[in-house]
């Protein structure tokens, strides 16, 4: 049987434009979530914001999962061998279903709750820096648990990218350090890293769209105790903040988590996570465009450095051309 690592490497060596497009969608939409959380967080508490976001996301993901399921059935009907594989991946039961639910509770539920709380204590740049410790956690866990190893290009690229996001955080920080916010940011990074590693393993048994929908739905159910809080704040919040919650549910949650799962199923966990080092750079750009916050030169330099590190970590190594004699 072919290992997860070898399958990922074989796919990543011939990365398609569709895969790069999915990566770009994930990065841009996840970056926009920082702006959306800052916008909605003024009127919605962390629990209410979490429930509102993932409830909207679960509804949107239901439609995405339905479309993905219809495509799988068509593909299975066209190929007998594909039918067996699609059937095996389509059945969710027992331990796999339980792990998908645990994954959903951790990433959609607890991670969002912790991140929302962290952004009440930290500015966007510092929050992005702390959360983007997660790719290093993913790389270590994937190397230890998924057999992906520790390629030199990956490690060098991640270190360069991390230096870039550190420059961004330093350039955009308010200059104050809140220990509670730092702790929450680090907790979010650990949750992100662990959930991404578990997801990579589970994608062997379930497609990305179905897994994302079930995980989001499980988290929405678990967050129902925040419903009275959400209803109360919904009645008082301005329309702009409520629209921000809807945006967070449809785009950074439903769409971006689906494209993330699509990439993760076809790319190594460490390299997929490394692409998210570009998120802080995009956050700076979006803050500039949407909030009219002009980034300092140091932040622009940090963004360029982060993108360079992502390129080093994720672009496939070129093989030397064969010599024709």
pLDDT digits (tens, 9 = 90+) for 185-242: 889 988 998 999 999 889 989 888 889 999 999 999 999 999 999 999 999 999 999 9
**CA distances, 153 to each of 100, 135, 141, 315 (Å):** 31, 14, 17, 9
Res 295: pLDDT: 62
Q: In whole angstroms, what separates CA 131 from the centre of its chain?
A: 11
From the list 144, 129, 151, 142, the residue with the least C-alpha distance to 313 is 151
pLDDT digits (tens, 9 = 90+) for 271-305: 788 788 788 888 878 877 886 766 667 776 877 88
pTM score, whole prediction: 0.79
Write down the H helix ranges in the chain. 4-12, 17-40, 46-78, 80-90, 94-104, 112-118, 124-131, 134-145, 152-172, 179-202, 208-222, 227-236, 239-248, 256-264, 269-274, 279-291, 297-314
């Amino acid at each position: 049987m072919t290992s997860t690592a070898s399958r990922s490497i074989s796919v990543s060596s011939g990365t398609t434009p569709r895969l790069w497009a999915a990566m770009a969608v994930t990065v841009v939409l996840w970056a926009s979530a920082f702006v959306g959380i800052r916008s909605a967080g003024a009127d919605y508490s962390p629990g209410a914001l979490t429930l509102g976001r993932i409830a909207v996301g679960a509804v949107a993901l239901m439609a995405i999962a339905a479309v993905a399921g219809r495509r799988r059935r068509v593909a299975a009907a066209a190929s007998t061998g594909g039918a067996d594989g699609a059937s095996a991946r389509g059945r969710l039961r027992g331990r796999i279903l339980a792990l998908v639910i645990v994954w959903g509770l951790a990433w959609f539920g607890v991670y969002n709750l912790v991140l929302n709380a962290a952004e009440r204590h930290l500015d966007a740049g510092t929050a992005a820096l702390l959360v983007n410790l997660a790719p290093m956690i993913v790389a270590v866990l994937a190397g230890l648990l998924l057999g992906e190893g520790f390629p030199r290009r990956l490690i060098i690229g991640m270190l360069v990218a991390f230096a870039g996001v550190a420059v961004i955080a330093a350039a955009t920080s308010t200059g104050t350090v809140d220990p509670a916010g730092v702790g929450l940011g680090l907790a979010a990074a650990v949750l992100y890293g662990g959930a991404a590693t578990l997801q990579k393993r589970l994608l062997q048994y379930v497609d990305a769209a179905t897994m994302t929908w079930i995980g989001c739905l499980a988290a929405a159910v678990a967050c129902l105790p925040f419903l009275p809080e959400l209803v109360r704040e919904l009645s008082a919040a301005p329309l702009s903040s409520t629209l921000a919650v809807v945006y967070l549910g449809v785009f950074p949650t439903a769409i971006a988590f689906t494209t993330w799962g699509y990439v993760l199923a076809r790319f190594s966990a460490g390299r997929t996570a490394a692409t998210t080092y570009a998120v802080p750079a995009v956050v700076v750009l979006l803050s500039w465009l949407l909030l009219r916050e002009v980034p300092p030169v140091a932040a622009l330099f940090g963004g360029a450095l982060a993108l360079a590190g992502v390129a080093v970590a994720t672009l496939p190594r070129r093989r030397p051309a064969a010599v024709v004699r």
